[in-house]
Structure formats: C-alpha cells, structure tokens
C-alpha cells in the first residue's frame, strides 16, 4: 500500500492495513517470514512533511542463537516517523551531514510512502541480535552437535584458555624431548 503525501487531507488520515511482506533475510542469512503484519495509525501534514504515528504488530519465527530451535517472536512496536519527499542523491565526493532529527525521517520517492518498505525497515530494526529460546539455553555440543537442552552427550571436552594454547604446545614438545 502507498500513501500519497500530496493527497493527505489537512485533518489527517486514519489507516489500518494488513500487509503481506515478501520473505526477509536475517543477518545470519536465514529467510524469515513475517505473518500477521498489521500497521494502524494516523498520518497528518506537518511542517517538514507528513507525521506518521502508528502501531505495528507482526509475528516471526526466528532461530535460537545457541541451539538453533525455532523461537516465536511477537513484535509490537510504536512507529513515529516524518514522511518526506525523497531528496536528490548527493553527487560523487559530496558529503551530507546527518543530524539526530534525520533519524526519524522516511524518504518517499515521488512523494509516495511505500508502507511495505516502511514496515520492513521497522521489523529489521526490532529484530534481536541473538534471539534465545530461553535464558538458560545450553546450546549445541561443539563436539557432536547434540542439542544439550534435550540430551546429555558423553563428549569429553578439555577447556583450554586460547591465550595459553602456545604454552600447551611448548609443554608437549618438552615432554617428547626427554
């Protein structure tokens, strides 16, 4: 859905949209599917553009950063942006100073706000860096790959401080020389 910035009445516009987004790509490269995406709120003309105040709801299935199990993620977020017509792109070698106020701007090419792009951006901003199925998640065994939340493996793992690993090598060569 698009909002035409020029056609928003002076008293504002209310909207309630269910959006169907294409698959998203997480930072780890996995494909995420957003379901139940709903954006509802108001858009009203303001000094610099159009003020958008909205509430975003969405559901995603993420993978636990330790054990790789599915983690349901419910997104419920407030969105406050100023929709502005897209400015001309800077030429090569030109620098643009970006202020804190610019963080709340959403550029709209041809004066039309693409709500799918806006919502996609907000979902990416809300994703946790390392989702966990639980705070006490034990993760996968580095030796056999078993999920340590489900099963106890018998792998023996000697924990060596990587800073001391060169000394271990030195100890092995000394014991072999005697």
pLDDT per residue as tens digits for the range 86-102: 765 555 776 767 677 77
pLDDT per residue as tens digits for the range 106-142: 889 888 999 999 999 999 999 998 999 999 999 999 8
64 and 11 in a common domain:
yes
- Specify burial of residue 153 (Cβ count, 10 A radius: 0-12, 13-18, 19+): middle
**How many domains would you assign to the chain?**
2
| pLDDT at residue 164 greater than cutoff 60 | yes
Average pLDDT of the segment spanning 70-83 = 94
> Is 118 among the domain residues?
yes
In this prediction, residue 78 carries a pLDDT of 96
Q: Choose among 77, 80, 75, 84: nearest CA to 34.
A: 75
According to DSSP, residue 21 is labeled P
- The answer to whether 65 and 131 have CB atoms below 8 angstroms apart is yes
157 and 112 in a common domain:
no
117 and 151 in a common domain:
no
Alpha helices in the chain (DSSP H): 115-126, 165-177
Residue 110 main-chain phi, psi, to 5 deg: 60, 20
- Evaluated on CA atoms 52, 53, 56, 62, the torsion sign reads positive
> Is 133 among the domain residues?
no
State whether residue 78 is helix, strand or coil.
Answer: strand
In this prediction, residue 168 carries a pLDDT of 79
150 and 108 in a common domain:
no
In this prediction, residue 14 carries a pLDDT of 95
Question: Domain range holding 64?
Answer: 2-126
pTM to 2 decimals?
0.76
């Amino acid at each position: 859905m698009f909002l035409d910035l020029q056609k928003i009445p002076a008293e504002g516009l209310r909207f309630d949209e269910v959006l169907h987004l294409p698959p998203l790509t997480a930072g780890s490269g996995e494909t995420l599917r957003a379901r139940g995406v709903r954006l509802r709120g108001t858009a009203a003309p303001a000094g610099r553009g159009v003020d958008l105040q909205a509430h975003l709801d969405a559901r995603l299935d993420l993978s636990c950063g330790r054990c790789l199990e599915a983690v349901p993620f419910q997104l419920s977020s407030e969105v406050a942006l100023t929709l502005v017509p897209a400015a001309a792109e800077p030429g090569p070698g030109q620098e643009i100073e970006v202020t804190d106020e610019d963080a709340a701007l959403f550029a709209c090419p041809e004066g039309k706000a693409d709500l799918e792009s806006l919502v996609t951006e907000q979902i990416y901003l809300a994703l946790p860096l390392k989702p966990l199925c639980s705070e006490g998640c034990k993760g996968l065994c580095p030796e056999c790959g078993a999920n340590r939340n489900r099963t106890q493996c018998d792998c023996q793992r000697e924990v060596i401080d990587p800073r001391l690993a060169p000394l271990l090598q030195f100890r092995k060569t000394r014991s072999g020389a005697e």
